[in-house]
Amino acid sequence: MELGLCVEMALSKLPFEQRLKKAAAAGFKNVEMWFVDMSYKGQPEALAVMAKKYGVKITNTVIGAPDGSIGGGLTNPKNRPQWLARTKLTLDFNQRAGIGATIVCTGNEVRGMSDAAMMKSVIEGLKPTLELAEKAGVTLLLEPLNTRYDHPGYWAHSSDQGAEICRRLKSKRLKLLFDCYHMQIMEGDLLKHIERNLDVIGHFHSAGVPGRNEVFKGETNYPFVLAGIKKLGYKGVFGLEYQPTMDDVKSLKETRKYLGM
């Protein structure tokens, strides 16, 4: 297992190229970004060259906004054309930049639709999304989020729910993104949830609870969680997606020391 760093929260005050350079200098071999037309303004091929220059791997992007304001989301079938257009844009960027995964957010609950109808819409929307991802050789990371503080109204708010969707669609190109910050708020009992869903987990996120700050500031015992994940045999990336409360470089150094990684 290796650490990853989301450079949209830590190091976010720097130009994108400097974020990659600083992350590499801080010992990170894996970094992740959000939307392909957000912080980075250049061509995907240039980003691939930049990442190689600094010796980092960009692990993933994000297709659309959690609430559906960008990309339309999956919960509302009326927004399907918008969602698929956004998907094509993102997958094309990923493929050209050599980025192997992208995050899928479901969008918010739709007024007047039952939960079963929204589940059907998400499943039906993921089918063509997966076809595009499989052709592009890019893995989709389905992410449940917390609705109590950060994303009120968001539809997918349970790791078990996300895992069920992954299993129903039965594609090696669809995995669950288990965000320890969000799931600590919504579910707790992190290791038991991880254990029963490890077969479909493709990536982890983390931050301190409460506050979404450093992992060493909060109620979650991250060294214990990491030890448990390693024992279960996970060999992927454990991503840090948090807002530093101190100088970014100092924060990253203390975080790595705390985690022993």
- DSSP states of 66-83 as a string? TTSTTT--SS-GGGHHHH
Q: Hey, what's the torsion of the CAs at 143, 62, 216, 208, to 10 degrees?
A: -50
- Output the average pLDDT for the chain: 98
Fold classification of 2-259 is TIM Barrel (3.20.20)
pLDDT of residue 2: 97
Q: Is the dihedral of CA 17, 222, 243, 92 positive or negative?
A: positive
* pLDDT at 261 (0 to 100): 94
Check residue 218 and give left, alpha or beta (phi > 0: left; psi -120 to 50: alpha). left
For the chain, how long is the longest CA-to-CA vector?
51
Query: Cα(28)–Cα(7) distance, rounded to whole angstroms?
Result: 11
Question: pTM (2 decimals)?
Answer: 0.98
Mean pLDDT of 243-254: 98
Bridge partners of residue 31, in order along the sequence: 5, 58
- Mean pLDDT, to the nearest integer, of 106-126? 98
**Strands 57-58 and 174-179, sheet pairing:** unpaired
Mean pLDDT of 172-180: 98
Angle at 31 between CA 212 and CA 83, to 5 degrees: 80
What values do phi and psi take at 201, rounded to 5? -80, 125
> How many beta carbons lie within 10 A of that of residue 95, not counting itself?
15
Domain definitions of the chain by residue range: 2-259
Interval 70-90: pLDDT, tens = 999 999 999 999 999 999 999
The DSSP letter of residue 137 is T
Which band of pLDDT confidence, cut at 50, 70 and 90, is reported for residue 245?
Answer: very high
Confidence band, pLDDT 50/70/90 cuts, at residue 233: very high
The whole-angstrom distance between residue 228's C-alpha and the CA centroid of its chain comes to 20
